[in-house]
Amino acid sequence: MRALGQNFLVDTGVRDAIVEASGVGPGDLVLEIGPGRGALTRVLAERVSVLVAVEVDPELAAYLQRELADLSHVHIIHADILSCDIGQIALTHARQAPGPFRFMVVANLPYCITTPVLHRLLSASSLFEAFTLMVQFEVAQKLMAAAGTAGYGELSLLAQYYTRPELLFTVGPMSFAPPPRVQSAVVKMTVNRSPYAGDLDPSPLFAVVRAGFAKRRKNIRNSLVSSTLFGGDHDLVAALLARAGIDGRLRAEQLGLEEFARLTRAAIAFGAVHAADGKSGGEGGDVN
Ligand code: SAM
C-alpha cells in the first residue's frame, strides 16, 4: 500500500548491515517502527532482550503476531506509531528487560511519516540511546546538513541538538519490494547525553528557530518580525539581533545552533520568551 510506505526490505545484506550498525545486543529494549513482514524483526529478535514492534497495517500485524507467537520477548502492537505514547511503551516493557537496559530504535521507516516520527523520537530522546533508521536519502541529508548547505533547516537543528547523526550508507531502490522511486540511506543518531547549548531549554530555543524559519525567503530580521513570537515588534527584533551579534540581513538557513542559542538567550534576557517554555508567541516551544 503506497499510502503506508510499504516498501519491504528484501536485501539480506542491507538488513544485516542495519542490525550490525545499530549495535543492539543482549539487555537492550528495542522499538521497531513498521515491522512490515518482519525483515528486520526476526534478526532483531535473535539479538535483543525485549523487542516491541508497532505496525499500523492490521493484516501485517496479525501475520507477525502469528509468526512470532512463540517468542515471549517480542511484542507486536497493532497501532499507529503517531498515536503511541513512546515513553509508556518503554515503561510497560522495561519490566521484562534484565536490569538496566538501553532503549534503542531500529526501523526502516515508512517515508510518508518520517518527519513526524523524527519529531516524536527527538522530543523523547532522553529515553533513548540511539536511533538507527532507514530514511529517504534527502531526509538523511537534512539531518546531517550544516548551516548554509542544501537541505539545512529546522529538522537539521533538531537532529543536531538532540543527537549526533551519522550517514552510514546509501541503499538503492532494488533492495526493496516494490522498489521506491527514491534513494534511501541508513542513519544512526546517537543521543547526546548533554545536548549542545545544554544551558537552554529546547522549548524557547526551538520557538526562536521556528520564528527564524517562519518566512524562509526573508532575511532573519524580517522573518522574526513577521513571526507571531515577536508580534511585529521591529525594535525588539533589532535589539535581539544586536545583543546576539547577528547581522539581520542573513537568512535563517545561514545561522547555526550557536547563533540561534545566542538569539534565544537574548530573547530570554529581554523577557520576550520564557526560559522554560517559550510560550510568549504562537510558534510554540515543543518539537512536535
Ligand atoms: N520493516 C519492514 C521492512 O524493512 O521490510 C517494513 C518497512 S516499510 C518501509 C514501512 C512499514 O511501516 C510498513 O509495514 C507499513 O505498514 C508500516 N507503517 C506505515 N505507517 C505506519 C504508522 N503510522 N505506524 C506504524 N507502522 C506504520
Instruction: Evaluate: CB of 38 within 6 angstroms of ligand 1.
Output: no
Q: How far is the CA of 50 from the centre of ligand 1 (A)?
A: 19
Pick the CATH number of 202-282 from 1.10.8.100, 3.30.465.10, 3.30.300.30, 1.10.3720.10: 1.10.8.100
What residues does CATH 3.40.50.150 cover in the chain? Answer: 2-191
Percent of the chain residues topping a pLDDT of 90: 82
Asked if the model's pLDDT at residue 161 lies above 50, the reply is yes
Name the DSSP class of 2.
Answer: G
pLDDT at 94: 84
201-211 tens-digit pLDDT: 899 999 999 99
What residues does CATH 1.10.8.100 cover in the chain? Answer: 202-282
Q: Which of 1, 2, 30, 33, when mutated, tests ligand 1's pocket best, judged by the most ligand atoms within 8 Å of its CB?
A: 33
pLDDT at 97: 76
* Residue 280: band (very low, low, confident or very high) from pLDDT cuts 50, 70, 90: very low
Residue 117 cell numbers, joined: 516520527
Instruction: Evaluate: CB of 36 within 6 angstroms of ligand 1.
Output: yes
Q: Tell me if 204 sits within 8 A of 39, measured CB to CB.
A: no
pTM for the whole structure: 0.92
Asked if the model's pLDDT at residue 288 lies above 50, the reply is no
Instruction: Evaluate: CB of 55 within 6 angstroms of ligand 1.
Output: yes
**What mean pLDDT comes out for the span 119-143?**
96
DSSP string, 101-143: --EEEEEE--GGGHHHHHHHHHHTGGG-SEEEEEEEHHHHHHH
Instruction: Evaluate: CB of 5 within 6 angstroms of ligand 1.
Output: yes
18-69 tens-digit pLDDT: 999 999 999 999 999 999 999 999 999 999 999 999 999 999 999 999 999 9
Q: How far is the CA of 164 from the centre of ligand 1 (A)?
A: 25
Architecture of domain 2-191: 3-Layer(aba) Sandwich (3.40)
pLDDT at 283: 38
DSSP string, 68-104: TTT-TTEEEEES-GGGS-HHHHHHHHHTTSSSS--EE
